Amino acid sequence: MRVCYLDCFSGISGNMVLGALIDIGLPTSILIEEVTKLKVEPFDVEVRRDERMRIHGTHVKVKARGNMGPQRSYREIKRMIEESPLDSSVKDRSLDMFRRLAIAEAKIHGQKVDDVHFHEIGALDSIVDVVGAAVGIHHLAIEQVFASRIPLGSGFVRGQHGRLPVPAPATLEILKGVPIYSSSPNEELVTPTGAAILTSLSKGFGAIPEMRIEKVGYGVGDRTFEEIPNVLRIILGEGAGSYEGDRVWVVETDIDDMSPEMHGYLMERLPQAGALDVTFTPIQMKKNRPGISIRVLGNDAAVDGIIDTIFRESTSIGVRFYPVRRAKLGRRVEEVETKYGTVRLKVSTDGRGRVVNVMPEFEDCKRIAETRGVPLKEVYREISSKRAALRWER
């Protein structure tokens, strides 16, 4: 599986992403050819070698021929992408990035999403940045993207509506659920466009995933900082495993003074807070007291809600939480016809598309057993006989 890692030690912007992708092999001619399919006003892409603190990379600048053109609304950009002859995967990624931008702008300015009218974001260079990033991922056959934690910078930036704090409100809204940290440059390190590209593409945030490195590239930012090199580093390689992967958080606590009824209620509430999995394990605690060890999995966006739910709905006065990486089989749902009716099957595949496991959906089997008055094991036997006759290798 081909993966890439965005090392955002100096933040991220749209043109830094384009520069990094070009640095690892995206031809400028392909970028221009694909973006031109949107029928935007004529433009040029200026690509040149540049350096920051002796780190050499690629700097990209989009220039309109003549006037910059209209400042488009989200509805206009959405229609323009949907009606273009771009590859479907490029369309989907581009639409997702702009949707994230539109949702953030709508919340900040108190508008409906479809009514958002972009200013800087609707300009030509941002359209090229977003669609160009999607084109680069597709052209380079990158299957999964991961990223580092994100530094935010500090100070103020001037926008369409005047001076705004760094990070800009739209940027901060888009980065919800992403691990961030404060950094020293008194500059804007993450633009709204960069944040939208990052959160749309990345499957997880943290350390560099295990891989065999193929290429390393650098996208050079517009400004020069005294403290750090203003570049985005991208690492392209082959994933060490053939499975999907992401990063999740483990939240744990041990309790020896809570009634069983409250344990049951807590287990019901945790999935509502975003928990991916919840397990309760009997343990023996200090003073020879029997207790329960609670272990919860959740993604970046759910951690705070999970911790809050544990404190609110249990007698715990402290939790442990730490990030872990997961390896996962790919999953899809298919249907099989049996003499009892249609049953959904959960099909698990490895990174090469090979079927590893096929399991019937329990709720479907339970419903059939109850409504038809047959033993549950008989339903499973019927499904197994049908499943054996199907060709799952695809």
Spelled out in words, what is the top-level CATH class assigned to the domain 330-388? alpha beta
Q: Where do the structural domains in the chain lie, given as residue ranges? A: 2-242, 245-325, 330-388
> b vs e for 262-282, b when ≥16 Cβ sit within 10 Å of the residue's Cβ?
eeeebbebbbebbbeebeeee
Q: Each residue of 146-157: pLDDT tens digit?
A: 999 999 988 887
Nearest CA to 203 out of 142, 127, 251, 153 is that of 142
Beta strands in the chain (DSSP E): 2-7, 43-52, 55-64, 144-147, 150-151, 156-159, 162-165, 180-181, 202-205, 211-220, 231-239, 244-255, 277-285, 289-298, 320-328, 330-338, 341-349, 355-360
Q: What is the pLDDT of residue 120?
A: 47
pTM: 0.69
Contacts of 254 (CB under 8 A, 6+ apart): 283, 285, 291, 292, 293, 294
Token pair belonging to 336: 């099989």
Nearest to 182 by CA among 136, 216, 137, 151: 151
Rg (CA), the chain: 25
- Exposed e or buried b per residue across 341-374, where buried means at least 16 C-beta atoms within 10 angstroms of its C-beta: eebbbebebbbeeebeebebeeebbeebbeeeee
Each residue's pLDDT tens digit, 296-337: 999 888 999 999 999 999 999 999 999 887 878 878 888 888
Mean pLDDT of the chain: 89
User: 283 - beta bridge partners?
Assistant: 291
Instruction: Identify the H or E element spanning 197.
Output: helix 192-201
Per-residue pLDDT of 356-378, as tens digits, reads 888 899 999 999 999 999 999 99
Residues listed for the chain? 394
- Fold observed for domain 245-325: Alpha-Beta Plaits (3.30.70)
- In whole angstroms, what separates CA 152 from the centre of its chain? 18
> pLDDT confidence of 185, banded at 50, 70, 90?
confident
Find the largest Cα–Cα distance for the chain: 80
